[in-house]
Structure 1
Amino acid sequence: MNKTTIISSALVILGLGIIGVLWVITGTKKINTPPVTEVTTSDVKNMNYVIDGQVFSLTNGTVNKEVAPGSASKQTVSIFGEPVYGDLNADGISDAAVMLVSSGVGSGSFYYAVLAIATGSSTYKATNALLLGDRIAPQTVEIHEGRALYNYAERKANEPMTTQPSVGKSLWINYDIKTGEIGELVKNFEGEADTSKMTLGMKKWEWVKTQMNDGKITIPKKTGVFTLAFAKDGKVSIGTDCNSMGGIYTVKGTKLTFSQIISTIMYCEGSQEQEYSKTLGEVASYLFTSKGELVLEIKMDSGTMIFR
């Protein structure tokens, strides 16, 4: 066999080998798997999220997408409030709990829970999105002991969508490390509250925090001093970190308003009293959660005050 024949045979064998390798690689490639973008820790608002199999590439926390090719109708997906950070998979790196809202398809506004799991020191990968409900009233997103908690209000069974949500719900999220997916975690709280039996006057309520929908969160600098005590005669006693206050409260269904608030006159440097009392004056409604919390909803759905 001459050199030309040997070289030609070698090239043919090499070519077949390359084709075989390429066939193996492409033959095992997963198809129809929506891509998920990994981004820096400051860019949870600029990454891909998947809702019902569709990929939405958010920029600055929002995106508009055609409902169908060439359609004038747009589906808007955006981050509601601000992401909350904490370790959700016990690897010592902060992940993020996000609430998404989708609108523009029909008359609904659909809210979803989704986690952005850190895949390195500065990258994230989004999980599947878990539907919370249509036109619910979002309140807070929290992280406790490595678990994400979504608090919101929904309607009673068979209530029309025009009814204001009034039933508080707290949904714990379970992250499956093996599958990378999330689902609802059924968790029995010690002393879990029956919201149907809770009343405003059942106890003295202690302010835990105020969370606005623009992401601003205010917590008391001093614990145990900011309180509310509702009397049966319609009067409310208000504790602060400075003055003692009191006033009148009015309830109509789930609507709640404070009025005629009076206060002792004393100056306390660094006091949060003014902000606290101002926010109380903007309260429009209330509800209870199964965690035993009193949630005061601020006018125009702009935020909530949490009491325990």
Structure 2
Amino acid sequence: MRQLTVLGTASQVPTRHRNQNGYLLRWDSEVILFDPGEGTQRQMLLAGLPVSPLRRICITHFHGDHVLGLPGVVQRISLDKVPHPVAVHYPAGGQVFFDRLRHASSFYDVADLRPVPVGPGFRVETPAGALTALPLRHSIETYGYRLAEPDGHRMVPSLLAAHGIAGPAIGELQRTGRFGRVTLEQVSAPRPGQRFAFVMDTGLCDNVFHLAEGADLLVIESTFLAEDAVTAAQVGHLTAGQAGSVARQAGVRTLLLTHFSQRYADSARFLDEARAEFDGDIVLAEDLLQVPVPPRLGSSDERASASRR
């Protein structure tokens, strides 16, 4: 299963209908929690999501709407006696904030948290693929994240039959890359790995595009509308139109807009503004919404075709 559960969609101030940030990505066996804002533990309960499968927590920056739920999640990990380590990634310059949140109150602490601070050139290999981070442009140290599955091969039945490859021989070919004189390349087609990008509080900058490049699913903030573009630039945020433009230029397949300012009563305006820039799939995030990662494209040619659309 590859699916994102949206736990919160507000920005600095929660509303009656929008909790503060929180996004849980299930990518096969890898389960990653991004930016656990205030109330994340309760939102996970409402979504039917236990903490026990969590393998990783990624924090973009240490503003409250992105981290004040961390103490509750950590304490729940301890209470439920999660048996495996949970890695926590966060900007290295915010170590003091992580330390305070990690031990925000007294509790019986048996959580096996593994802090892995993020800095320039950050990259870690996970069972889901390479997790990288790039700095963004905000009022404090902020990073966006990208998860990229390795490219692979898709076996083509007609080519296998033409070379007389069947049964256990297919497995050996996949494991070793060769069976007799037949190579893997002769009986398969390229299968591009899937990509996920997570971009929160930032002004428009090159790294936004680098993170989003070719993403099957891009989760991106769209705090403001174009009418407040000057304010957005001053405080290091994006407009919905800018988010749509990024998706178009980066060849994104599905764009998820989130992190909405409470100043706008009609959230449909974000969708309208992004749609003017991007004609691909757009999801207007709502609390507790479940969004599947789009089905895999079969070849690099298909990916390029989808990007052009």
Same fold (TM over 0.5): no
**Higher-strand-fraction structure:** 1
* Range of TM-score over shorter length: under 0.3
User: With CA pairs under 8 Å and 6+ residues apart, which has the higher RCO, 1 or 2?
Assistant: 2
Q: Higher helix share goes to which structure? A: 2
Q: When the two structures are superposed, what TM-score results if normalisation uses the length of structure 1? A: 0.20
Larger radius of gyration: 1
